[in-house]
Amino acid sequence: MFGNLTPLEIGYFLIALLISMVIHEVMHGVTARALGDTTAADMGRITLNPLKHIDVVATILLPLLLVILGQTPIMAAKPVPFNPSRVKFGDYGAALVGLAGPVTNFVLAIIGSILIHLASGNLQVATFLLLFIQINVILMVFNLIPIPPLDGSRAVYALAPESVRRVMERIESMGFLFLLVILLILFQLPGVANGIGSIEQSVYNFVIAL
């Protein structure tokens, strides 16, 4: 989705990325609180302050490096904590908390599409909004990959048999670095990279056409 960005566009990219990730994480916390778990609220994570959500490596350095190299960026903020045992509806409630992030990114992409049609006469605003839409589409699709601890795994976990759940729990316990290694390997496979890229492009085309 990203070609060679100018220094100004990289600045736009970072701003749009921070806005999108912060709102994504906040909505996890808001949804968890609505379902009865106040963990995120108690830890001060239901806030628009980006400093509360930034992981320097995963949020800024990694996606920026991949964009500079012309690759699809892998993006992650500091996860908002929640206690699945405290939310209503059990595993289905936990799935709703997980899916709140990608759904939020989809809504943000739609808002960006509406705004870009209103600001078509301003090149710089349109450039920012195009990056904003692209980032939110990537965040949505990326987070729906059903590998723990990504958001999509929560929905799979709610429906999976016990044997699959145990495997997913073991993968999640290995942390983000293990996930990153898996994803970097998977993204080197043409079928996987092209498949994810095709999904992102289809969603982007749908949103931009609204």
Q: To which residue do tokens 């239901």 refer?
A: 46
pLDDT band at 72 (very low <50, low <70, confident <90, very high): low
**pLDDT given for residue 174 in this prediction:** 85
**Torsions phi, psi for 174 (to 5 deg):** -80, -10
Domain ranges of the chain: 7-208
Tokens standing for residue 166: 């145990």
Q: How far is CA 140 from CA 37, 98, 104, 105, 137, in A?
A: 24, 11, 8, 6, 5
Query: What pTM was computed for the model?
Result: 0.89
25 catalytic, yes or no?
Answer: yes
Q: How far apart are CA 27 and CA 25, in angstroms?
A: 5
Lowest mean pLDDT among 12-16, 57-61, 122-126, 195-199: 57-61
Q: How far apart are CA 176 and CA 170, in angstroms?
A: 12
- Among candidate residues 25, 162, 172, 200, the one labeled active-site is 25
